[in-house]
Structure 1
Amino acid sequence: MQLLHYIECELNKNPVEGFSAGLIDDNDLYRWEVLIIGPPDTLYEGGVFKAHLTFPKDYPLRPPKMKFITEIWHPNVDKNGDVCISILHEPGEDKYGYEKPEERWLPIHTVETIMISVISMLADPNGDSPANVDAAKEWREDRNGEFKRKVARCVRKSQETAFE
């Protein structure tokens, strides 16, 4: 618990470009809200996406869960908003053989490394291991058509609801 408090203080003292993070409730260090700014020169540019990070009691031994609250159309975010990237997967061997153990969660990862990975995911989706098969198919086959239109709609909606 002290570790999470320390991390929050460090992020407030030394903010990282592209996101901000803080507690949802001052009495609960395990639930955070993050705002992610869509990376420049991507389809997500201009978006302000809200997400929640939920830390397990045994953090940092196990990864937090991340869920977008703002609607987002992305191959690595399922339709419920859950983020599916290697860094958030439980440590150890991947039973499907897609990920190396060093690509998965390690206790050295921080909120900052998670957010940098998420920003990178927005800039460069992983189509080989999609959480949203429909978005992945559109990203591969019609990136500048239907996929781009759906992302643009999500970006507009995120701007309208960013500060609610």
Structure 2
Amino acid sequence: MTLGSGGSSVVVPRNFRLLEELERGEKGIGDGTVSYGMDDGDDIYMRSWTGTIIGPHNSVHEGRIYTLKLFCDKDYPEKPPTVRFHSRVNMTCVNHETGVVEPKKFGILANWQREYTMEDILTQLKKEMSAPHNRKLVQPPEGTFF
């Protein structure tokens, strides 16, 4: 996020940006089917996060609750976080062995911009679950993990 007018802009420091994201994640997002927060409130570097997605209606994911881990390295938000499903899921952008969302196969990570947030990632993953190429994929039994 940058602030300013004219030709000048101010880059919001990493920790301020993450505090904004934490506040938004804790308030709940939209219809409540996507949420996120920090793993450890004592982590002063704010690196490790947990996300939750409730599967979209009219898909093989409907009603399922998926948990993910997001890791914001020191380069975040200049570079995207690493994203890994903890819950087993069958999607074309997710490595079937590790649960890692593969950046080259997931547009928002492949074309990362500083303005994007963890909320954007989770929202896009939920949309991806409803995409035609993922809609009908057979899913692992509910409650299984990587």
Same fold, TM exceeding 0.5? yes
Aligned length: 124
After TM superposition, the structure 1 stretch with the greater mean CA deviation from structure 2, 110-119 or 14-23, is 14-23
Could you tell me how far 1:14 is from its partner in structure 2? 4.8
Instruction: Please give the secondary structure, in 2, of the residue aligned with 1:157.
Output: coil
* Equivalent AA in structure 1 for residue 113 of structure 2: L
Q: TM-score, normalised by structure 1?
A: 0.68
* Equivalent AA in structure 1 for residue 131 of structure 2: D
Instruction: Please give the secondary structure, in 2, of the residue aligned with 1:77.
Output: coil
* Greater per-residue helix proportion: 1
Structure 1 distance, partners of 2:39, 2:28, is 19
The percent identity for this pair of structures is 26
Structure 2 distance, partners of 1:10, 1:74, is 27
- Other-structure match for 2:89: 72
Structure 1 unaligned blocks of 5 or more: 90-103, 128-138
Structure 1 distance, partners of 2:54, 2:28, is 17
Structure 2 unaligned blocks of 5 or more: 1-14
- CA RMSD after TM alignment: 2.1
Moved segments of 4+, more than 3 Å: none
Structure 2 distance, partners of 1:118, 1:36, is 8
- Counterpart contact for 1:16–1:112, Cα < 8 Å: no
Q: TM-score, normalised by structure 2?
A: 0.76
Deviation by residue 1:122-156 (Cα, 9 ceiling, x = unmatched): 1116x5xxxxxxxxxxx69xx4xxx43xx1x43x3
Superposition map of 1:15-94 within 5 A: 15-17=29-31, 18-28=33-43, 29-79=46-96, 80-84=98-102, 85-89=106-110
